[in-house]
Amino acid sequence: MKYRKSGRSHWWRRRGAKPICERPRIKKVLEEYLASDSPMPPLRWTVLPQVSAMRSIAPSGRSARSCAALSGKIEGQRRARVAAIEPTLEQALQESPPPSLRQVTKRLGFSATCVLKAHAPDLYERLKTHWQAYARIRRTELQNKLKAVLQEKPPPSLRSVYSRQGVTESIVNTSFPDLRRGNWIATSAISAAAGPGA
């Protein structure tokens, strides 16, 4: 492997390598999280590396107890979020318009929708189906509105169309490329007929 030949793998194990996180910093992070009542930030990239590092540095004593307390707090918050999955999905099914799975995932403090599917597969599928049906209706409504715009004389600018319909250029280009192209052709034809001095 090239990365092994380069000698750059596991650089932190080399003698004299600078620690990724200094011990005073780790201690400060632990104390701040333990004293806080707010939910933990994303654990994968912030809390857990510090906890693991502190455990390896100080396997016993006050720091070890702090690590254990913090681990317990993290686990308690994780269990609370998992327990809230089903009630939150059930509530989402009653909302109008329904939220997307990504929105519900964010509400619960998770980073991936697969967590919802793993813990509440039936509710996950129901909300997914419900939201997809809503999205299809919304798409049809938007398509009809854009078609109506093509009948306006003179045709409005694309920018004004996006503003009126509350959409972005990216959405129209992706979902309705033919309509977008048709409106551009109509606008170009009007401009050409008017002449360069119009």
Residue with tokens 């009653």: 94
Q: How far apart are CA 20 and CA 57, in angstroms?
A: 12
Among 31, 29, 13, 11, which Cα is nearest to 21's? 29
- Are 105 and 39 within one domain? no
**Is 8 a member of any domain?**
yes
Contact between 71 and 78 under an 8 Å Cβ cutoff? The reply is no
Model confidence pLDDT, tens digit, residues 110-169: 889 999 999 999 999 999 999 999 999 999 998 888 888 878 888 777 788 888 888 888
Domain range for 88 is 84-132
Contact between 98 and 105 under an 8 Å Cβ cutoff? The reply is no
Model confidence pLDDT, tens digit, residues 22-67: 667 666 766 776 676 666 554 443 445 555 555 554 445 565 666 6
Domain count, the chain: 3
- Are 57 and 73 within one domain? yes
Q: Where are the beta strands (DSSP E) in the chain?
A: none
Among 48, 90, 92, which Cα is nearest to 70's? 48
Task: Quote the distance between the C-alpha of residue 149 and its chain's center.
Answer: 33
Structure pTM?
A: 0.57
Q: How far apart are CA 166 and CA 146, in angstroms?
A: 12
- Are 124 and 156 within one domain? no
Question: Is residue 7 exposed (0-12), middle (13-18) or buried (19+ Cβ within 10 Å)?
Answer: exposed
